[in-house]
Structure 1
Amino acid sequence: MKEEGNVGRIIAIANQKGGVGKTTTAINLSACLAEAGQKVLVIDIDPQGNTTSGFGLSKTEIEKTVYEVILRECDIKEAIVEDVIENLDILPSNVNLAGAEIDLIDVENREYTLKESISEIREKYEYIILDCPPSLSMLTVNAMTAADTVLVPIQCEYYALEGLTQLIHTINLVKKKLNPELELEGVVFTMYDSRTNLSLQVVENVKDNLKQNIYKTIIPRNIRLAEAPSHGLPINLYDTKSTGAESYRLLAEEVMGREE
């Protein structure tokens, strides 16, 4: 349970490459942290809104979203949907967010709007998980400015390392200019296929290049993981005994174990 006076850890899940398991990780890591008794807020900062629908919310019926919050048109407390599952609230997103880049041009201190909103509710939660869009956009910069750490899902495929240097460069830039506290939470490997040598090579390659911050838990390719979002459920509720559910529980334990 949440102890008074503690502020929640804010983790941005980011990779400018699409299809690397970012939203899958945002949904299932959050759900497994909540299952472990942590109070969690998920903030969907992707205009596609897949994290929102992955928790069973209708993107078209939501009145207030992260878009209104970022543009300071509504209070963050008004937009949060509470108890989507036990211990887990969500700040939803929909396609309106696609226009935020342009709408933010005139906004003063636009990199800090999300950070300011989060500060109002931060002590309610142990974890605040931000699902970033698959681009290094103003939305991603907003998330990184608000976050304590960035968790990077990397797909076990040949070009895995390609975007990583660019992403780390962006993290360092945000750290230098906007958020001196920002750190790399770590890299988590997704879509691992034990039947291919390639998956193994990718893991070894990234380990050689990164030296540190790599989670031991590796998320496998798993049919049940792929099916779960279409049922609007995280994997631990959709198929609690699947390897996908077990993997995300292990990842949640590792994330909790990273506490100082």
Structure 2
Amino acid sequence: MAKTTTVATLGAALVELGLRVLLVDLDPQACLTFSVGIDPEDLDKSVHDVMLGGVRARDVLIELEDGPDLLPATIALATAEVQLARESGPEQVLRTALRPLRPAYDWIIVDCPPTLGLLTVNGLSAASDVLIPLQCETLAHRGVGQILDTVHDVQRLTNPGLQVLGVLPTLYDGRTTHARAVLEGIADTYSVDVLQPAIPKSIRFAEAPAIGETVLTTAPTSPGAKAYRALAEALAH
């Protein structure tokens, strides 16, 4: 969940800074779409239709009040991997679909699936930068190496300009030796930047998506909200 929470909250924080932001939900579970208050089952069209049905991205966009715009997902994306494999240049489909929208936004943030298949490769092929949220309370850091291997493949094959912004520590509890050790291990093992501030562990993050909002509005003075605002400030400048 930290991945989707980061996309939704960072997007909202960038909007607070006066920037024009589009969120793209590329996960068949549609967690991002749910978390901003949209029920995927109510949607006729989604990013799936944009990538594989010839529908223009601007015709699927949802403009959210006081927040980023959204290119939503539905369960239809679950079949996209098989369908994309039949396309010519299957890893570039999202990049092509988003190209007409790029002038309208300062930031386009893609929430990739947790698996490293063709959908994720599409997200990476369309991106200029990669931010890797890392849960500091698990062995999730093992996945960082796999993600970086995929990034290197994409750099070599489809998107040579792709940059790794760094790893963002989430669910971070600085009081535990384990969390601190995970962070130190990441920097030492993978030679990537560890972004600051770390996003603290908080029940507030679980509460916000249930009502279609982010912690910036449900708990605006909480440490989590302050951390995401500080991250947005750092990335925007």
TM-score bracket for the superposition, by shorter chain length: over 0.9
- 3-state SS, counterpart of residue 255 of structure 1: helix
Indicate the residue corresponding to 1:249 in structure 2.
229
Indicate the residue corresponding to 1:77 in structure 2.
58
Q: Percent identity?
A: 37
- 3-state SS, counterpart of residue 184 of structure 1: strand
Residue 46 (str. 1) matches residue 27 (str. 2): yes
Query: What amino acid sits opposite 1:66 in the alignment?
Result: V
Once the two structures are superposed, the pairs formed by residues 170-189 of structure 1 within 5 Å of their partners are 170-189=150-169
Residue 162 (str. 1) matches residue 145 (str. 2): no
Which has a greater percent of strand? Answer: 1
Unaligned runs of 5+ in 2: none
Alignment equivalent of 1:223, drawn from 188, 200, 203: 203
Indicate the residue corresponding to 2:216 in structure 1.
236
* Paired residues of 1:22 and 1:153 also in contact (CA < 8 A): yes
Q: Cα distance 1:121–1:158, how it changes in 2: closer, same or farther (>3 A)?
A: closer
Which stretches of structure 1, 4 residues or more, deviate above 3 A after TM superposition?
none
Query: What amino acid sits opposite 2:214 in the alignment?
Result: P
Residue 198 (str. 1) matches residue 144 (str. 2): no
Q: What is the rounded CA distance, in whole Å, between the counterparts of 2:138 and 2:202 in structure 1?
A: 19
Q: What is the rounded CA distance, in whole Å, between the counterparts of 2:114 and 2:5 in structure 1?
A: 13
Unaligned runs of 5+ in 1: 1-18
Q: What is the rounded CA distance, in whole Å, between the counterparts of 2:182 and 2:95 in structure 1?
A: 35
Query: What amino acid sits opposite 1:85 in the alignment?
Result: E
Q: What is the rounded CA distance, in whole Å, between the counterparts of 1:200 and 1:93 in structure 2?
A: 35
User: Structure 2-normalised TM-score?
Assistant: 0.96
Q: Deviations over 1:66-102 (max 9, x none)?
A: 00011043111101112x1325100000111001011
- 3-state SS, counterpart of residue 215 of structure 1: coil
Indicate the residue corresponding to 1:97 in structure 2.
77
Query: What amino acid sits opposite 2:21 in the alignment?
Result: V
Query: What amino acid sits opposite 2:13 in the alignment?
Result: C
Aligned length: 237
Once the two structures are superposed, the pairs formed by residues 25-40 of structure 1 within 5 Å of their partners are 25-40=6-21
1:228 CA drift (Å): 0.5
Structure ranking higher on relative contact order (CA contacts 8 Å, 6+ apart): 1
- 3-state SS, counterpart of residue 197 of structure 2: strand
**RMSD of aligned residue pairs (Cα, Å):** 1.2
* Paired residues of 2:202 and 2:224 also in contact (CA < 8 A): yes
